[in-house]
């Protein structure tokens, strides 16, 4: 990234995105997911769509590294700005997002423009060097937590929210042995992480669905949707089910619109697993 002239960067991206197609498990995972998102689609069309997913993925990684190394930010557009502002004025909130666009870049944008402290929860980074890079290149008000120690982390996050901070979590897929809730996406059963919903219930704060979508070269849109309030009743399972249903409706709408940026390289629906 620190050696590539920007005026030949599109060639470099196009070239290396092609190599992702050689990565069998990733290519098959994306194509299986596309089959569900676009029912009746042809395999050959999905191969080109798959290339587009990898092309977008390469650009978002490059934009993220460019920001961390050179502090170059992309252009930003906002939709649902009123909800975004509302989230920042509240005493604590949960920001629920998906593996789309550049969620890292979005989190950094919040931390640069917001007075609130942001804690971003991520799946554990396998490579220690990458993990150290992520931890050391964050903005001052942004803390990255890897979800490796569930109980202790839950208490830390609850404390962060009670202190008025914002906790950002990816809520589209379950990794490892974290607890999950049943859900339906594109008419097929799946599971989503239970953590954000349990945290919202415990901290009595709403969940704000936020998506960072790449519109083009160095151009992103930050989409904030109406908050999901979890109302307490006698039946906790029903409370969660209602909240999950609203979240899945938002997620489905955004994935349907921006399928080329949903960076899920494994078969998402359990029934699709080889």
**Touching another protein, residues 3-22 (CB under 8 A):** 3-12, 14-15
Contact call for residue 136 and another protein (CB under 8 A)? no
Binds another protein by CB under 8 A, chosen from 216, 232, 235, 274: 216
Distance of closest approach, residue 180 Cβ to another protein, in angstroms: 36
Distance of closest approach, residue 217 Cβ to another protein, in angstroms: 4
Nearer to another protein, 10 or 189 (CB): 10
DSSP sequence for the chain: --S--TTTHHHHHHHHHHHHTT-HHHHHHHHHHHHHHSTT--HHHHHHHHHHHHHHHHHHHHHHHHHHHH----EEEEESHHHHHHHHHSSSEEEEE-SBS-HHHHHHHHHHH-SS-EEEEEPPPSSHHHHHHHHHSS-TTEEEEETTSHHHHHHHHHHHHHTT-EEEEE-S---TT--EEEEEETTEEEEEESHHHHHHHHHT--EEEEEEEEEETTEEEEEE-PPBP----S-HHHHHHHHHHHHHHHHHHHHHH-GGGB---S-SSGGG--
Q: Which segment (144-152, 155-163, 200-208, 213-221) binds another protein by CB under 8 A?
A: 213-221
Binds another protein by CB under 8 A, chosen from 22, 24, 71, 115: 71
Distance of closest approach, residue 259 Cβ to another protein, in angstroms: 21
Binding mask 91-130 for another protein (x = CB under 8 A): ---------------------x------------------
Distance of closest approach, residue 90 Cβ to another protein, in angstroms: 17
Binding site for another protein (CB under 8 A): 2-12, 14-15, 69-79, 81, 85, 112, 139, 216-219
């Amino acid at each position: 990234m620190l050696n590539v002239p920007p005026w030949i960067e599109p060639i470099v991206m196009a070239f290396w995105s092609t190599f992702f197609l050689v990565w069998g498990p990733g290519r098959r995972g994306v194509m299986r997911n596309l089959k569900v998102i676009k029912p009746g689609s042809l395999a050959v069309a999905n191969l080109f769509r798959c290339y587009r997913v990898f092309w977008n993925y390469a650009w978002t990684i490059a934009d993220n590294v460019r920001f961390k190394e050179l502090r170059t930010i992309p252009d930003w557009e906002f939709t649902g700005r009123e909800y975004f502002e509302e989230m920042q004025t509240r005493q604590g909130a949960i920001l629920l997002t998906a593996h789309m666009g550049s969620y890292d870049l979005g989190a950094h944008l919040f931390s640069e423009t917001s007075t609130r402290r942001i804690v971003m929860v991520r799946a554990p980074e396998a490579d220690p060097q990458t993990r150290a890079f992520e931890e050391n290149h964050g903005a001052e008000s942004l803390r990255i937590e890897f979800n490796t120690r569930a109980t202790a982390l839950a208490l830390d996050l609850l404390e962060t929210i009670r202190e008025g901070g914002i906790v950002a979590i990816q809520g589209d897929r379950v990794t490892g042995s974290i607890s999950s809730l049943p859900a339906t996406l594109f008419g097929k059963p799946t599971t989503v992480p239970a953590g954000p919903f349990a945290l919202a219930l415990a901290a009595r704060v709403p969940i704000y669905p936020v998506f960072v979508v790449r519109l083009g070269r160095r151009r992103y849109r930050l989409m904030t949707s109406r908050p999901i309030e979890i109302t307490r009743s006698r039946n906790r399972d029903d409370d969660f089910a209602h909240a999950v249903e609203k979240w899945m409706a938002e997620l489905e709408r955004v994935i349907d619109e921006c399928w080329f940026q949903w960076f899920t390289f494994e078969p998402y629906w359990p029934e699709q697993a080889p």
